[in-house]
Amino acid sequence: MKIGIVCYPTFGGSGVVATELGKALADRGHQVHFITYNQPVRLDFFSENLFYHEVSVSKYPLFEFPPYELALASRMVDVVRFEKLDILHVHYAIPHASAAYMAKQILATYGIHIPFITTLHGTDITLVGNDRTYKPVVTFSINQSDGVTSVSEHLKQDTYRFFEEVNRDIRVITNFIDLKRFSHQPKGHFKKAIAPEGEKILVHTSNFRRVKRTSDVVRIFAKVQEQIPSKLLMVGDGQDRPECEQLARDLGVSQNIRFLGKQDAVEEIMSVSDLFLMPSQSESFGLAALEAMACRVPVISSNAGGLPELNVDGVTGYLCDVGDVDGMAQRAVYMLEDEDRLNTFKEEALKHARTFDLSNILPQYENFYQEVIANSKPVKTA
């Protein structure tokens, strides 16, 4: 197939899923065309089946808000026409689904039928559910998609709950992990450098947005550290990082926390870690937690959103209510204080991560593409 993928080319979240999916499809022999405003971060190598088409938004003094959605729709029209794509797959509804709808209508005037699939990732639904600004457009463009997927069952139910007028079937295709890349690596020297006295290593990765509750991570760690000699690695960057750094100083634990900023080789950091913390306010799936589990790291998370579908309470780690810093700290101590117990959690985390291996999820996307191509109806033109 010739597949167009539209995504945000950023660190973390939907952009990573879209890029990893595109790479895997290209490995399977499909031709994959990324259409976005920057080279996706994990697309930094050559493959004969991978193409990148930049969307450039012209600046004009009149445009206080340059119309990215129009530039994107125009680029989609251009790429579909000239590369003869079979299907478009847009990741994150806003504004990609409505841009795809517009491109589809324009292409129909050239006699070209292009079906499009929208994958819902999380904040495109959960934030908009609380903010009516984009609601009519998101509702319309979900309903007009030829196929819709969500990354967890919980996100599917949230979509119906927040968008009462969405009347489409939504196929759950969960996020995935490439276990060939994300696996435990022997990085003993790195571990020794971070924890020279054999301290336990806790880790958190995110974009430090409010929804991640990163200050809870610091608070949980401060409590754990009172009972277990330990270190905390904070990976990523974002608006709440300065607040976390200040909190670490105020709580007197800053000497045991390393803020590492954005990192490419996350799997190397995970490989030296004993426990992953994800106390998010909301999380449609929690890809970062799956990355940790694939590296044999158990998870303490909140029970928000789709996290219970990933983190099995008492098996791969523990789930607590959002904001329950004491509960999360207690469970962390329970896991870390006994080496055999910790190892059992580690094994279970890896075992469960294997069920999300790319090899299980990729065929679900390929089958869905074929289903949608076979069943989608061309736009009626006058």
Sign of the Cα torsion 92, 178, 284, 87 reads: positive
- Nearer residue to ligand GMT within complex by CB, 85 or 300: 300
Q: By the 8 A CB rule, do 275 and 200 touch?
A: yes
- Nearer residue to ligand GMT within complex by CB, 163 or 225: 163
Stretch that binds ligand GMT, among 81-89, 106-114, 116-124, 263-271 (CB under 6 A): 116-124
- Stretch 50-89 residues interacting with ligand GMT (CB under 6 A): none
Q: By the 8 A CB rule, do 298 and 349 touch?
A: yes
- Nearer residue to ligand GMT within complex by CB, 14 or 376: 14
Sign of the Cα torsion 101, 106, 110, 111 reads: positive
Q: Is 123 in the site for ligand GMT (CB under 6 A)?
A: yes
Is residue 117 helix, strand or coil? strand
- Least separation in angstroms between residue 12's CB and ligand GMT is 4
- Stretch 292-351 residues interacting with ligand GMT (CB under 6 A): none
Taking CB under 6 A as the criterion, the residue among 94, 151, 257, 358 binding ligand GMT is: 151
CA-to-CA distance for 248 and 256, rounded, in angstroms?
9
Q: Is 207 in the site for ligand GMT (CB under 6 A)?
A: yes
Stretch that binds ligand GMT, among 26-34, 117-125, 182-190, 247-255 (CB under 6 A): 117-125
Residue pointed to by tokens 């952009």 = 15
Question: CA of 62: how far to CAs of 56, 59, 67, 71, 104, in Å?
Answer: 17, 9, 11, 16, 28
Q: Is 118 in the site for ligand GMT (CB under 6 A)?
A: no
CA-to-CA distance for 179 and 169, rounded, in angstroms?
30
Taking CB under 6 A as the criterion, the residue among 96, 121, 219, 346 binding ligand GMT is: 121
SS3 percent helix, strand, coil of the chain, rounded to 5, is 45, 15, 35
Taking CB under 6 A as the criterion, the residue among 175, 273, 302, 316 binding ligand GMT is: 175
- Least separation in angstroms between residue 192's CB and ligand GMT is 31
Positions that interact with ligand GMT (CB under 6 A): 12-14, 17, 92, 121-123, 151, 175, 207, 211, 282-287
